[in-house]
Structure 1
């Protein structure tokens, strides 16, 4: 069989785009090139860059962080403030703007709260958002025992019996201990609601929570609804004509699957697509000089780290994990691999979040790393395999560098490049021994952030870390209402996690998109997505 040239592949992609999508420049259609179709938008069970960006168009939040000017200096050539209409979420001051929950009243003692739902909010099917949708979501999260259940536990509202329907637009939550997050968590994309009346139509005896339907067809109360889902090809969304803020200017979203990032870039340069996800830093910076395009790199809450299975040799030994952390060249990774579109990371939660404690325990020092390993249960080194995602153009470069810097420690690292879904399954099932992973705690709060990544048994504790003292601090800290006291109380847990070297902290990558200069209104939200409903495309 003749080998297909990259130019021929690109031509076929462009032809398919024209046939299936119409003109990308049409003001009412946006075409977005993505690396692949995700598992779905059911965030209780699915995660990843495209899951987040797609779910963000279908789901409407109870509240949002109020917009403020960008608080950081923009990277030259990738400054998000150059996008007209850009703003930044004010999570640092915990300032919120109401969404489909008009008000949340939290009692002075924190033991009860009331959600007042906005009236007249409808899904694309015409069903109104009511207390029944809220209660169904609570029950579903607990039944699935996944991320939604963690959120409810973090808010001290995990028992469905705590949730009471007062009337169609009022829900009361009660607790035996304070619930400091129960209102703030309304700005969290994982604290969402689907149209439960529609979902129940797709439930079966074997699938009572419609887990087969929600991922690729779930109907929310957001500005868009899924129109078609062709795995490996494209996902099309259409505007929700009933959207409570009014139908968005862009009527159709086409997520076009273009696996090779070089092809995504080429389609953007040609004007065949309007926005691109999944760029490498090199590609992003190479676009900076093109006046017909804009690159936006936002410092947010993402982190890339090395998962090390704390329950399996050799990574069950803290000295091994400390040695690896000491051998990670963070500054070099940020400078040479991320091209400045990241921050070096040692602190155990996002550096942009309230309660963050800066750490400097693991400066790059190969000799010290050798000494630590010599004191461990593996003094002569060992062999291991580092799994990384083929969907992130940066991970392979980081993996190659880690293999090189760990070699002097007699740590022989084999590299395993995996498809996105396979690598996600390996890590999220907690079966990975050694793997690169990008993640983030959505809620800007120390108890939430630390509990999500490091609490024993939690869904995102992919490294199986366990420390009784950390768990005690998390359990007691969840009920502290005063922000300053809450932050200070969790500082010892951050210090302990750092000493234990629970994971291999690497960097905090910026969230990066490239887009046509005709776009305005692009913004970053804390679950690594943008809202197409706020974007406009000029003629």
Structure 2
């Protein structure tokens, strides 16, 4: 413990002097992160969209989100029928322990994700994959049961060395907290609930990083991160826009805003008497003033959301699905559904009061403010909407009886943004899939058609159909797409803006390409 504390002090001392002046090239960085991973095993779901720091996938993404070869020597290719994908591996890759990467490692990684004995949180991403085989030491073949248009997007998953799991239960393997990968950094230390220290992989195939040490301190509470950033403990952190704004004119710091496909929305339970009606769920959507939230809560740092498909998915997003702020129409729909106001302004039907609790995770200041704003708008419609602070586990347990403020989304493909969230096959399953227990056969058909077609025109029409059907029968009140806001000491070159997914801890965020940053002289 004493040695670890000394290490932290040394790292901080290398960042600045007590008066805030830099003392030398910034070859180390301390990051305040809002979330901590449960494990570091890609098989179990760690950093499935790449930028993993410790691992590489077959492909990676550049600043524009275009896929580029990583462990693959060229972009994987699909057969004409879309049922077979082939990846050729680079021949110069070794894991950080010096062992060479082979096709067997790739096969083991992907087969383990689908192994029913493995508790992988990302297995649903690979529903279409029926098999994966090593054609030879440098060639891997993925075989699909049906065409899956965005399959290449799933190949950013980090590859693990199969030999490390020989005779070991993947779910409880030592590897999960002390991994070996091909990435630009290795794990030197992980004290759960506190911090993780990464060291540069000097033999990294992409070139040794200039930042040699990365300390990630886990602080889930937004206010606590802001306080510790102000105290000089961090070189960078993610903050809600209001808290980040205090650094706007502070010397030696900069505020970085990254666009994202990361939504915040209220999952509306579709089996409650009140919200079982599409008319009521649509009324709630029409009664929420999203732009007012963006102006007041996000200080302008976001865009209104109506479905999980972000405007950044430009080829697929439909403006026609947007919900205008229309209180009069919301009131009309509630009346038509039989939920009428009494003398006290509260709605009821057949003697049952209209009530919809709104839950949010307690440490998250931003979700709290969004919950309060949304609940206030809902209450103005005559619906009792008490706001409760709780945990994610309780939110899942109560998903059939209360609304909750959830987050998610990615800018890679509408299938990964919407399919498991809204397809009825996932209603009632464990985990963060279809949390509102939503069922709509027209939505199902559109989502199935879109993921199975290789024709962009057919996919476009299917996603238009999906958004139209969803807008008529919404299962959520999607609120906003965030601009992720960071405060960063202005000590490095190399930051590039990238449209970010929901996950923006260490994997993504402003430091998505940290291995290519260089200290300012």
TM-score bucket (shorter structure) = 0.7 to 0.9
Q: Relative to structure 1, is the Cα distance of residues 260 and 210 closer, same or farther in structure 2, using a 3 angstrom cutoff?
A: closer
Q: CA deviation at 1:383?
A: 2.5
- Structure 1 residues 458-477: aligned runs within 5 Å: 458=426, 460-477=433-450
Q: Secondary structure in 2 aligned to 1:132?
A: helix
Residue equivalent to 2:158: 192
Contact 2:258 2:500 in 1 (8 A): no
Question: How far apart are the structure 2 equivalents of 1:44 and 1:495?
Answer: 36
Unaligned stretches of 5+ in structure 2?
A: 17-24, 341-347, 427-431
Residue equivalent to 2:107: 135
Residue equivalent to 2:64: 89
Contact 2:436 2:475 in 1 (8 A): yes
Q: Relative to structure 1, is the Cα distance of residues 180 and 384 closer, same or farther in structure 2, using a 3 angstrom cutoff?
A: closer
Residue equivalent to 1:57: 53
Residue equivalent to 1:349: 309
Q: Render the CA deviation track for 1:156-214: whole Å, top value 9, x for unaligned.
A: 32x23xx221112101123454343233433x4xx33222322446x2xxxx3234545
Q: Relative to structure 1, is the Cα distance of residues 127 and 311 closer, same or farther in structure 2, using a 3 angstrom cutoff?
A: farther
Residue equivalent to 1:283: 243
- Structure 1 residues 77-476: aligned runs within 5 Å: 88-90=63-65, 95-103=66-74, 104-143=76-115, 144=118, 146-153=120-127, 156-157=128-129, 159-160=130-131, 163-175=132-144, 177-186=146-155, 188=156, 191-200=157-166, 203=168, 208-211=169-172, 213-258=174-219, 260-269=221-230, 271-277=232-238, 279-353=239-313, 354-359=315-320, 362-376=323-337, 378-379=339-340, 380=348, 381-418=353-390, 422-423=391-392, 426-427=395-396, 433-441=402-410, 444-458=412-426, 460-476=433-449
Q: CA deviation at 1:36?
A: 4.9
Q: Relative to structure 1, is the Cα distance of residues 199 and 535 closer, same or farther in structure 2, using a 3 angstrom cutoff?
A: farther
Contact 2:254 2:490 in 1 (8 A): yes
Question: How far apart are the structure 2 equivalents of 1:298 and 1:417?
Answer: 28
Question: How far apart are the structure 2 equivalents of 1:240 and 1:407?
Answer: 54
Query: RMSD over aligned Cα, in angstroms?
Result: 3.0
Q: CA deviation at 1:393?
A: 2.2
Question: How far apart are the structure 2 equivalents of 1:217 and 1:108?
Answer: 41
Question: How far apart are the structure 2 equivalents of 1:360 and 1:127?
Answer: 51
Q: Render the CA deviation track for 1:490-519: whole Å, top value 9, x for unaligned.
A: 211121112111111101001222111112
Q: TM-score, normalised by structure 2?
A: 0.83
Q: Secondary structure in 1 aligned to 2:96?
A: coil
Q: Secondary structure in 1 aligned to 2:245?
A: helix
Unaligned stretches of 5+ in structure 1?
A: 1-13, 67-87
Residue equivalent to 2:519: 537
Q: TM-score, normalised by structure 1?
A: 0.81
Question: How far apart are the structure 1 equivalents of 2:359 and 2:7?
Answer: 33
Q: Relative to structure 1, is the Cα distance of residues 453 and 245 closer, same or farther in structure 2, using a 3 angstrom cutoff?
A: same
Q: CA deviation at 1:341?
A: 0.8
Q: CA deviation at 1:117?
A: 1.2
Residue equivalent to 1:507: 480
Contact 2:199 2:212 in 1 (8 A): yes
Residue equivalent to 1:491: 464
Contact 2:49 2:154 in 1 (8 A): no
Report the number of matched residues. 481
Is 1:482 aligned with 2:464?
Answer: no
Q: Render the CA deviation track for 1:104-145: whole Å, top value 9, x for unaligned.
A: 122233232210011222222223222222222222211247
Question: How far apart are the structure 2 equivalents of 1:131 and 1:248?
Answer: 26
Question: How far apart are the structure 2 equivalents of 1:387 and 1:402?
Answer: 11
Question: How far apart are the structure 2 equivalents of 1:138 and 1:508?
Answer: 31
Q: Relative to structure 1, is the Cα distance of residues 440 and 215 closer, same or farther in structure 2, using a 3 angstrom cutoff?
A: farther
